């Protein structure tokens, strides 16, 4: 009987220590979810932040699309939500969009179909499904049906595309396959000669970016303001940011190291 109670006591002590220790040494963890366009930028920023402030903060990054991030942070599920679009009236209340950078959306086709350029009217008629065949598009090098690829409903890129390119009144054809990330759209367009889609500027590997309204979709044109398809990246918090999140967001918005990272593939603020 004595042996059993001491065993139980020992187990209880170990359990208590195991629970207490994490509380004592607690390193804060910032969790983020949301846009797949913001994810590469935030990942690079987080790695640099952890390197500069070792042992203080940890990061966990998930994706899912801007709407997922916004809803997660509004419900208190994550610390920061990553959004790649402007706030919309349908967003939950009480959110603060801390803008950190700008990014361009490029219309892409496969390398077998290097279109010379598209106007806004052409983009609208192709993506809404009015123009169904490549033979109706001047400058197309392939024939057959146009395979449109769009993003799932939770994507901020899709919302920004609709706002900027489709004038907020039209919608992408309902039957277009909806991919859940930029990478998947890139992959679908890369492997299908008749495909057309839209991705963030960072996801152009293996596909061809089409000039929009006469301006090529490059980082330089985006920075100079010539390219029209620009949308903001924001780190969304519930109310004003506090604590570790505030420190991180402040670092991203104001430090030179962060600005250097943003400058590589995105457009810094101001």
Partner 1 sequence: MAAATAPAPPPPGVRTRARDSAASWPLADRVGLACCWAAGLALALVAAAIVIYMAWKGISQLSPSLLVQHPTGDVDQSKAGGFLDPIEGTLLLTLIGIALAVPIGVATALWLVEYGRPAPLARAVESSVEIIAGAPSVVLALFGLTVFSNTFFSFMSFRPTGADLAYGRSFLIAGIVMSLIALPLVVGATREALLQVPNHVREASLALGKTKAATIRRVLLPTIRPGIATGTTLGMGRIVGDTAIVILLLGNTLLTEPQEGLPGFGLLRGTGSTLTSYVYGNSPAGEGNAPEKAYAAAFVLMVIVIALNALATRLARGRDGGPAWIR
Partner 2 sequence: MPEAALAARLRPARRWSRPERAELWLGALAVALLALIAGMVVFVFRQAWPSFSGNGLSWFLSGGNANTQLADIYHSPADPSHYLYALRAFPILYGTALSTGLAVAIALPFSVLCALFMVEFAPPGIARLMTPTVRFLAAVPSVVYGLIGILVLAPWINTHLVSESFKLDVKPIVPIGGGGLLLATLILTVMIAPIMIAINADALQNVPRSWLEGSAALGVNRWRTMWRIGVRTARPAIAAGVVLATARALGEAIMLAMVSGSFIFSPNPLDGLNFLLEPVQPLAATIVVNSEGLTVKPFGQTLYAFAAVLLVSSMMLSITGWVVRRPLRRQGVR
Give me the residues that bind partner 2 (CB under 8 A), please: 33, 62, 64-65, 67-68, 71-72, 74-75, 77, 90, 92-93, 129, 132-133, 144-145, 153-154, 173-178
- Shortest spacing between CB 210 and partner 1, in angstroms: 23
Q: How far is the CB of 94 from partner 1 (least distance, A)?
A: 13
3-state secondary structure of 103: strand
Q: Closest separation between CB of residue 125 and partner 1, Å? A: 29
Q: Return the half-sphere exposure (C-beta side, CA atoms, 13 A cut-off) of residue 32.
A: 29
Among partner 2, partner 1, none, what binds residue 47 when CB lies within 5 to 8 Å by partner kind? partner 1
Q: Which is nearer to partner 1, 28 or 224 (CB)?
A: 28
Task: Look at residues 252, 267, 248, 263 and name the one whose alpha carbon lies nearest to residue 101.
Answer: 267
Judged by CB, which is closer to partner 1: 18, or 174?
Answer: 18
In angstroms, give the least distance from the CB of 152 to partner 2. Answer: 8
The binding track of 123-162 with respect to partner 1, each residue x by CB under 8 A or -, is: ----------------------------------------
Two structure tokens written together for 165: 């390119």
Query: Which residue in 11, 43, 214, 250 binds partner 1 (CB under 8 A)?
Result: 43
Q: Among residues 223, 181, 219, 216, which one has the least CA distance to residue 198? A: 181
CB 102, min distance to partner 2, A: 25
DSSP3 helix / strand / coil % (the chain, rounded to 5): 40, 25, 40
> How many Å apart are CA 59 and CA 250, to the nearest integer?
16
**Could you give the angle at which helices 38-52 and 256-265 cross, rounded to 10 degrees?**
150
């Amino acid at each position: 009987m004595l042996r059993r109670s001491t065993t139980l006591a020992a187990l209880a002590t170990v359990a208590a220590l195991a629970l207490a220790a994490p509380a004592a040494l607690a390193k804060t963890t910032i969790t983020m979810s949301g846009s797949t366009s913001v994810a590469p930028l935030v990942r690079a920023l987080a790695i640099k932040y952890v390197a500069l402030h070792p042992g203080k903060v940890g990061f966990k990054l998930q994706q899912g699309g801007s709407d997922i991030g916004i809803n997660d942070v509004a419900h208190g599920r994550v610390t920061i939500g990553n959004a790649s679009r402007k706030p919309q009236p349908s967003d939950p209340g009480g959110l603060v969009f801390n803008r950190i950078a700008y990014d361009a959306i490029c219309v892409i086709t496969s390398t077998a179909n290097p279109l010379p350029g598209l106007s806004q009217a052409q983009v609208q008629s192709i993506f809404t499904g009015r123009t169904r065949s490549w033979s109706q598009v001047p400058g197309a090098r392939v024939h057959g049906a146009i395979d449109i690829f769009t993003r799932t409903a939770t994507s901020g890129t899709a919302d920004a595309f609709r706002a900027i390119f489709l004038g907020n009144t039209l919608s992408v054809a309902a039957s277009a396959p909806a991919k859940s990330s930029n990478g998947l759209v890139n992959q679908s367009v890369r492997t299908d000669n008749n495909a057309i889609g839209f991705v963030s500027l960072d996801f152009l590997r293996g596909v061809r970016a089409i000039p929009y309204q006469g301006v090529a979709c490059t980082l330089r044109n985006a920075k100079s303001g010539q390219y029209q398809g620009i949308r903001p990246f924001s780190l969304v918090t519930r109310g004003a940011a506090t604590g570790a999140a505030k420190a991180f967001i402040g670092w991203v918005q104001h430090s030179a190291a962060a600005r250097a990272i943003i400058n590589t593939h995105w457009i810094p603020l101001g």
